[in-house]
């Protein structure tokens, strides 16, 4: 796109009916249609957008966007109203400091909800936080919430947990909302038919001060997941398969709506897992249309509307779906009826194969930059091309994170663990519930006993070993089966090696000491 010059009009290259794309095609198209066109000052619109304008049929994204525009500027930048702002300790201190410096207040305190999650210890809470820098950050959050009257779930509150588990659990996440948080996994909340995405600290400050953000519209992509996956294959495997297909940048500039029979059949927990990982395909926002599953999940949640207001809200939420004839800028379809459990082998979530597969050989990769990235990843992961995934032994197992620490995840993992012991070669196996309420529910079902009897540690809620900001981390060279969302170098501890899997796959790896094809054990 060397000819993409500012101000010069270009009719977009895409068609509205892009069929199923191979990953390479997707990447090429993303490159061709990426920032240059999207960011142009000219009033460019995609063909699909043009057709939408004529037909009036709207995608869910279009509806969410349109209902939140306060003002649109000439270049398409919009002042977008934000309904819900979730706040945590890591990305907010500088934002509150900015408010203080300029003597600004919080626009609408009741739109905010704060909870400490990234830094919190997951054991011996009675001892407080022993790490001085972590303690200072959490105390800063508490002080900021007091000073600015922002609602907070404190560390000793049973509702405390990972912000992306807590929000939905409380009904603070509702369909039709715009939801932001200084955390990239805010895409999780799109599972409720809400427009939700991560923001940086400057934007955290802006939302606190103005309840608005200055944003450009994303393009829309629909990923249809069709068919019934085999037993033992679930939302996490679908998410990894989508990322494997699109690539880690395939969704850049898009909001991805997940649709299809396999998505309709998912629980809200499963839909959250799927939307959570939209960002790992490059899409800031994931979306799932509202249906009975959504509404049934929300009924009776503490901060969901009640009585007549509930009825009114439900009637409105029924429209949080894409119209039948709505056109998307890009479409992708994956048949999940024969999908196998997925395992990552490298240092990017797109480096994923099925459990039946082997570590790929970089020599077979045609693109030099990708070949180089793959070689570097295999060196970091200490893996040889051709190794069967089932031959990879693990040192550590982590079941937790905003991807997979909800009650359904813990039930699925416990079902694999029941009656077994963790393998002698596994040094540590952790279960970190997503919130105090998930922990309490799991304990009421006896899941904690199943895990501890098998040799797992049963911890307090928090982000924990997903990003290793607290004491839970891998030592250099340790290999981990993890239910989290990122296998980046050093993510779980410097020198640590991460394989992303589903809760069942992680649990099975703990028992066997290596990855196994759980379909054969079910």
Site for other proteins in 213-252 (CB under 8 A): 214, 216, 248-249, 252
What's the gap between Cα 361 and its chain centre?
Answer: 29
User: Which residue's CB is nearer to other proteins, number 184 or number 482?
Assistant: 184
Helices (DSSP H) in 34-158: which residue ranges?
35-38, 47-55, 60-66, 93-101, 132-148
Residue 375 lies near other proteins (rule: CB under 8 A): no
Residue 498 lies near other proteins (rule: CB under 8 A): no
Q: Tell the smallest beta-carbon distance from residue 273 to other proteins (Å).
A: 18
Pick the piece of the chain touching other proteins (CB under 8 A) from 51-59, 195-203, 395-403, 430-438.
195-203
Measured CA to CA, the distance from residue 210 to residue 381 in angstroms comes to 45
Q: Are 275 and 191 in contact (CB under 8 A)?
A: yes
Query: Which of 60, 64, 90, 278 is close enough to bind other proteins by CB under 8 A?
Result: 90
Measured CA to CA, the distance from residue 393 to residue 23 in angstroms comes to 29
CA distance readout (Å), 447 to 30, 127, 230, 442: 44, 25, 24, 5
Residue 39 lies near other proteins (rule: CB under 8 A): yes
- For 418-458, the three-class secondary structure string (H helix, E strand, C coil) is CCCCCCCCCCEEEECCCEHHHHHHHHHCCHHHHHHHHCCEE
Query: Please, what sign has the CA dihedral across residues 190, 193, 199, 205?
Result: negative
Q: Tell the smallest beta-carbon distance from residue 298 to other proteins (Å).
A: 11
Residue (of 411, 506, 484) closest to 450 by Cα position:
411
Residue 169 lies near other proteins (rule: CB under 8 A): no
User: Which residue's CB is nearer to other proteins, number 312 or number 440?
Assistant: 312
Residue 46 lies near other proteins (rule: CB under 8 A): no
Of 282-341, which residues contact other proteins (CB under 8 A)?
A: 282, 284, 302-305, 309-310, 312-313, 316
Of 13-32, which residues contact other proteins (CB under 8 A)?
A: 30-31
Q: Are 502 and 484 in contact (CB under 8 A)?
A: no
Residue 357 lies near other proteins (rule: CB under 8 A): no
Query: Which of 61, 65, 153, 451 is close enough to bind other proteins by CB under 8 A?
Result: 153
Residue 152 lies near other proteins (rule: CB under 8 A): yes
Q: 509: number of CA atoms within 13 Å, CB side?
A: 35
Pick the piece of the chain touching other proteins (CB under 8 A) from 141-149, 393-401, 414-422, 427-435.
141-149
Pick the piece of the chain touching other proteins (CB under 8 A) from 207-215, 258-266, 416-424, 448-456.
207-215
Residue 37 lies near other proteins (rule: CB under 8 A): yes
- For 226-265, the three-class secondary structure string (H helix, E strand, C coil) is ECCCCCCCCHHHHHHHHHHHHCCCCCCCEEEEEECHHHHC
Residue 376 lies near other proteins (rule: CB under 8 A): yes
Residue 117 lies near other proteins (rule: CB under 8 A): no
Q: Are 173 and 290 in contact (CB under 8 A)?
A: no
Q: Tell the smallest beta-carbon distance from residue 241 to other proteins (Å).
A: 19
């Amino acid at each position: 796109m060397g000819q993409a010059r500012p101000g010069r009009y270009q009719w977009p290259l895409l068609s509205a009916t892009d069929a199923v794309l191979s990953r390479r095609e997707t990447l090429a198209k993303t490159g061709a249609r990426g920032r240059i066109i999207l960011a142009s000052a000219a009033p460019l619109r995609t063909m699909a957008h043009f057709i939408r304008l004529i037909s009036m049929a709207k995608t869910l994204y279009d509806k969410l966007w349109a209902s939140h525009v306060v003002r649109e500027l000439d270049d398409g930048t919009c002042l977008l109203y934000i309904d819900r702002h979730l706040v945590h300790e890591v990305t907010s201190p500088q934002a509150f400091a900015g408010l203080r410096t300029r003597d600004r207040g919080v626009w609408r305190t009741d739109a905010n909800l704060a909870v400490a999650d990234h830094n919190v210890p997951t054991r011996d809470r009675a001892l407080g936080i022993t790490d001085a820098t972590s303690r200072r950050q959490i105390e800063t959050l508490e002080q900021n919430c007091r000073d600015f009257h922002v609602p907070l779930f404190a560390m000793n509150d049973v509702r405390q947990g990972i912000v992306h588990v807590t929000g939905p659990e409380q009904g603070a996440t509702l369909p039709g909302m715009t939801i932001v948080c200084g955390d990239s996994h805010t895409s999780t909340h799109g599972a409720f038919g809400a427009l939700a995405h991560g923001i940086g600290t400057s934007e955290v400050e802006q939302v606190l001060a103005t309840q608005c953000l200055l944003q450009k519209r994303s393009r829309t992509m629909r990923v249809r997941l069709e068919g019934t996956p085999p037993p033992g294959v679930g939302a996490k495997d679908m998410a990894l398969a989508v990322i494997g297909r699109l690539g880690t940048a395939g969704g850049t500039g898009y909001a991805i709506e997940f649709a299809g029979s396999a998505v309709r059949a998912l629980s809200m927990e499963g839909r959250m897992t799927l939307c959570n990982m939209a960002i790992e395909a490059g899409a800031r926002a994931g979306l799932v249309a509202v249906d009975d599953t959504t509404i049934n999940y929300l009924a009776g949640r503490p901060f969901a509307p009640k009585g007549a207001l509930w009825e009114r809200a439900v009637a409105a939420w029924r429209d949080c779906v894409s119209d039948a004839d709505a056109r998307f800028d890009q479409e992708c379809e994956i048949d999940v009826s024969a999908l196998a459990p997925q395992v990552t082998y490298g240092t990017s979530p797109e480096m994923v194969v099925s459990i039946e597969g082997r570590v790929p050989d970089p020599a077979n990769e045609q693109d030099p930059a990708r070949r180089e990235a793959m070689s570097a990843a295999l060196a970091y992961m200490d893996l040889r091309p051709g190794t069967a995934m089932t031959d990879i032994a693990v040192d550590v197992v982590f079941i937790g994170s905003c991807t997979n620490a909800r009650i359904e995840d813990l039930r699925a993992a416990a079902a694999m663990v029941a009656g077994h012991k963790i393998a002698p070669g596994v040094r540590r196996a952790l279960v970190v519930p997503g919130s105090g309420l998930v922990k309490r529910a799991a304990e009421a079902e006896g899941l904690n006993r199943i895990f501890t009897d098998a040799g797992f540690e049963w911890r307090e809620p928090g982000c924990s070993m997903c990003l290793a900001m607290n004491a839970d981390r891998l030592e250099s060279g340790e290999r981990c089966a993890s239910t989290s969302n990122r296998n980046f170098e050093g993510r779980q501890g410097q020198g640590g090696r991460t394989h992303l899997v589903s809760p069942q796959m992680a649990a099975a790896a703990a028992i066997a000491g290596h990855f196994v094809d759980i379909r054969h054990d079910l």
